[in-house]
Amino acid sequence: MALLMSLQPPTKAMVAEAVSAGFYEHRTNQQRYPRLQMRTPEELMEGTGIERPSNVAALDETFTKAHKAKAKGHEQHDLKL
């Protein structure tokens, strides 16, 4: 899922592209959410929300944190200038 914020309203081509991205179906609540959503700051300030799973539904693996990467080495090499 992605959100594109733009200062200008989306063009017809942008809307068509967003629609062609399809929908994400949440495994827990079986609701469908647009994969790509476009909003302007004005829309967000007026209360137009972002379609996404609720915090309760987000407790499954959809929103789990990635594992912390392990450092490969701690030695910093000098630049030979």
The Cα-based distances of 29 to 21, 38, 47, 77 in angstroms read 21, 23, 24, 51
CA 44, 50, 56, 62 torsion: positive or negative? negative
Dump pLDDT digits (tens) for 38-69. 999 999 899 888 888 776 555 555 556 778 87
Q: What is the pLDDT of residue 56?
A: 59
Q: What is the pLDDT of residue 67?
A: 80
Dump pLDDT digits (tens) for 10-36. 999 999 999 999 998 888 778 888 999
pTM over 0.85: no
